Structure 1
Amino acid sequence: MLQDLFRNAAVKGLRGTGIIPTMILVTGGTGFLGRALIRQLASSGQEVRTLVRPSKRTPALPRGVPVEVAVTSLSDERGLRAALRGVQVIYHLAGAEHEGPRGSILETDARGTANLARAAAQARIQRFFYVSHLGADRASFYPVLKMKGVAEEHIRKSGVPYTIFRSALLYGPEDHFTTSLARLGALYPVMFLPGQGDVLLQPLWVEDLVTCLLWSLDNPETANQTYEVGGAEYFSFRQALEIILDVIHKKPWLVPIGLPYLRSLTVLMQGLVPNFPFSTFWVDYLGYNRTAPSDTISRVFGFVPARFNYRLDHLKAIDWRRDALRTLYRRP
């Protein structure tokens, strides 16, 4: 596809004369977006280092991809200084919103980002990229969006050249959106809609955001800018869910439910199901329209984002009921 040709050109550094780093640090490298970004960076021959929190578990890094690992946390300022040795560029993707009650939004998104921004300034980092959320604002009523807004301010005040992407909902293989809804739709006969399911979303294919991140590195005009980015189409939550259910050939009963009741139900399910895929962050996220100007990516980066139903092949040829039973009820 023409779009893939543009993406390959970006990975190979065929746009402009931006920074040519010898080492890039990626936080959140074991996450959905982080793995996609590391794969693309490594495929271009770029040296990549990623932060991994101390844990007994084997980190879920992309398979077969050469990546250096720095074992430290965002709360360890000494460890951060060591991890930044020889680094010119940071991609800060780490976030705790998908970890449910086990995650610490304050520690990761606010204090952790403050520590990283301070260490970046001391290390004279040339560029700091941060992926935030649409609606991020320190005055927001919602904890995740409030902390993302606070994190953005820490980065802007650090003195390090930055680029912030306030991203719409991301999707792709192993995501937190389409695969989670596929599991729930295959396992349960009833699915609950937030309100009437009419909140607007703008799903963005993960590889399109990766392309924006890569092209920004090679384009000095994106320095000290904040971009709100989303996919090529707007959908209500109900419409997006129905597209996903159609791909996996499931038809559960869709029941509208008020957001306060949905929040309580989510908390209950998190207690009953060891790996329930949705946290209260999702309830907050689905409380209001989450959209960006539809022309940002085409205007700034020169390509049109993928259409939602064209990039759902990762949902096909999978027994989602079996996958849900294996994934959701496995003890952490």
Structure 2
Amino acid sequence: MTRYGYFLSSEEFTPHELLDQARMAEEAGFEGLAISDHFHPWNDEQGESPFVWSMIGALSQVTSLPVTTLVTCPTVRMHPVINAQAAATAAVLTGGAFRFGLGSGEALNEHILGDGWPDADVRLDMLEEAVEVIRKLFSGDRVTHRGTHYTVQNARLYTIPDQPAPLYISGFGPRAAELAGRIGDGFVTMQPDAALVERFRKSGGEGKPVVGGLKVCWDTDRRRAVRTVHRLWPNEQLPGELPQILPTPEHFEQASTLVTEGMIADAVVCGADPDEHVEAVAAYARAGFDEVYVNQIGPDQRHFFDFYQSTVLPRLTAATS
């Protein structure tokens, strides 16, 4: 049975707004929370980017829902040792209800210390080694590691949960899906791609959760919703590897001038038609996803949660139960 959660957008909302949304999500009947881990927003119009580990600590105090990072890059901006400590503490604070989503990252967030941005194949190798380091540290043993990309000397985590946080590996192509099946406890991908899910399953992911997410914009005026998405999230429609290699919000703004309102209207659920919302989310369940996280774009959060509580979530639950 597919579980439906709410996706907290750290790029668009202040810390206090995110906490309010978490409370509303639990009241509305969502079954989990996902949260993005960014240093920068994608563009200045979004305008926020609180530190994810502070947010998870605060979330643990205002909601009982499980929390998943979608996703953290553990390879460049923060060393895997520090990510392991942060994740272990998050798991303790949430009573074991933290899941660590991991990916190979974007230059937007990871270039800030002046390190070069590696090619995709190197980034995946770095991710694999980072996962190895994190798993060693989750044991609570003293760890020394000398690898291709990382060195660890006499490191030990003293605050660890009873069970290690599961590691969900993000991927958007065949090699990443295979890596997720081989080294991950779950798979994260953002399109309802049944073929990619199958590749993950055949690569060692049988019986492991598949997690996805999508953005919508509830509004009684569909045209206004399209304009809201076009103003805040045109970057979602940028093709190929651009989201991984553009280094600054200004570059994303430049590239996003190629995205039209018509492209948004064709790609994103906008408006208040319950059939469209249900269909967009249910597509993930049909593709074999175990968890789907929905994010509401724009300021009208309360009416979105009311709409999903009264109309969308009951229909989704009935359809997939």
Q: TM-score range by the shorter chain?
A: 0.3 to 0.5
Normalising to structure 1: TM-score of the pair?
Answer: 0.33
